[in-house]
Structure 1
Amino acid sequence: MKRLPTEQRRKQIADAALRIIAERGLRRFTVAAIAEEVGLADGTIFRHFDDKDDIVLEAVHQLEEALIAQETEYEGDPLERLGAFLHHRITLMRERPEFFKALFSDDLAQAGPPEAGERVRALKRRSMQFVRSHLQQAIDERLIEPGHSADALLYLVHGTALAIVFSGNDLKKVTGESLKSGAIWESLERLMRRS
């Protein structure tokens, strides 16, 4: 196998760890499985990482970078910003489903040291707070029909995201089509936005 620069190899190993955790679960998350996934000998993994916990911490770091990267780049009113945020997340879910399966299943939080679990839980809280604060701001600005609470709407949005993550291609098999992230948000926004 071609020798890669250390940073590139570390990313490859962390990506493999995320895929294994998401697709096979914690019981099959082994150094041997990671090595097989990236085409290296088991011991070679430890040229790039101190131990398995170190691999998990790097996987969490990659997840943090991907999820936090664009949080401040959204423009428009609170619902438009929330729509852009969700579009980014849904696009990322489709490109990297292992990120979200590992995150939402709690396996990633349990795979490594306590610090990994704390960071994963902080990521979840941060995402939920982002959505809730934008919903509350939309309520305060009277952009949402009266009578809705930010907490109730948060569960609607979060439940939609979970359905996307865990349905995979099953929805397409049933309906014969793949929903675009814009269509998903437009439907949610129509339910909430004040006429």
Structure 2
Amino acid sequence: MKRDVILDTAARLFAERGFNNTPTSLLAKEAGVAEGTIFRHFQTKDDIFFTLINNVKTQLISDIEKYLEVRGPENALEKLESVIKSFYVFVKKNNMEFSLIFRDAPTRYGQRHDDVFLQIKEIYSYVTNYLKESIEEGKQEGIIREDVSAQDYADMLMSTMVGLVRAVHFGFIDSSDDILKSVIESYTRLLTTK
């Protein structure tokens, strides 16, 4: 129970103040625990950060799987659209947690062998693989052009989505379903045989 309170408080403080500007003494005070209690649950402040990123990854994967199960897309384009929408909605819904990824992770970490980097890469790879599979299925169904590189388009689409959610997160553009609809329609036009 205290572990969850520490994590919730850390997510909020890291999102508000940044990782480097959140001493464990403040975290303990805000969580209503002794500073030593933090270190009974986590080895270091970095361990808290890693746990938060891992939790985001786990929840994102679970949410996408549930969304696809409930939506039950009938063809590859619908599956592609469902993955895009579920990723976008998840990031909007978990804005606080994604501020860790968008702001602190790139500056705090970034070594290719670092645990946090690997967790973030798993998020990217998971979603990109779903997009790639959908494109490959669409090619087999005859609704996506044969000359399309599934990997290249999956990477471009994921990069577009990451850029979009970052721009929304930082307030560079307003969050709207219209922009998401435009992204989906644009990629559909690029991919389809019609």
Is the aligned partner of 1:60 residue 2:53? yes
The answer to whether residue 39 in structure 2 is matched with residue 31 in structure 1 is no
Q: How does 1:155-194 map to 2 (within 5 A)?
A: 155-168=155-168, 169-172=171-174, 178-180=176-178, 183=181, 184-194=183-193
Alpha-carbon shift at residue 69 of structure 1 (Å): 0.3
The question of whether the paired residues in 2 share the 8 Å contact of 1:19 and 1:98 is answered with yes
**1:127/1:20 Cα in 2 relative to 1: closer, same or farther (>3 Å)?**
farther
Partners of 1:78 and 1:138 within 8 A in 2: yes
Give a deviation string over 1:69-126, Cα, whole Å, max 9, x none.
0444423212211211221111111111244343356717829x94444333333222
Q: Does 1:85 align with 2:87?
A: no
Paired residues in the alignment total 183
User: In the alignment, which residue of structure 2 is the partner of 1:133?
Assistant: 133
SS at match of 2:142: coil
The TM-score, its normalising length taken from structure 2, stands at 0.72
- Residues 115 and 80 from structure 1, CA distance in 2 versus in 1: closer, same or farther, beyond 3 angstroms? same
Runs of at least 5 residues in structure 2 that lack an aligned partner in the other structure: none
TM-score of the two chains, using structure 1 as the length reference: 0.71
After superposition, the Cα gap between the structure-2 partners of 1:13 and 1:25, relative to the gap in structure 1 and judged at 3 Å, is same
Indicate whether 1:13 and 2:11 are aligned. Answer: no
RMSD of Structure 2 on Structure 1 (CA): 3.3
Contact 2:127/2:158 (8 A) holds in 1: no
* Structure 1 Cα separation of the partners of residues 135 and 79 of structure 2: 10
Q: Letter of the aligned partner of 1:162 in structure 2? A: V
Q: What do the CA deviations read for 1:151-184 (whole angstroms, capped 9, x no partner)?
A: 3322331132122222123312xxxx72357624
AA matched with 2:6: I
**What are the equivalent positions in structure 2 for 1:35-114 lying under 5 Å apart?**
35=28, 38=31, 40=33, 42-73=35-66, 74=68, 75=72, 76-103=74-101, 107=105, 110=109, 114=114
Q: Hey, what does 1:118 align to over in structure 2? A: 118
Provide structure 1 residue ranges, at least 5 long, that are not aligned to the other structure.
1-5
One-letter amino acid of the structure 1 residue matched with residue 192 of structure 2 = R
User: Percent identical across equivalent pairs?
Assistant: 23
Indicate how the Cα distance of structure 1 residues 13 and 161 shifts in structure 2: closer, same or farther if over 3 A, else same. farther
One-letter identity of the residue aligned with 2:118:
E
2:145 maps to 145
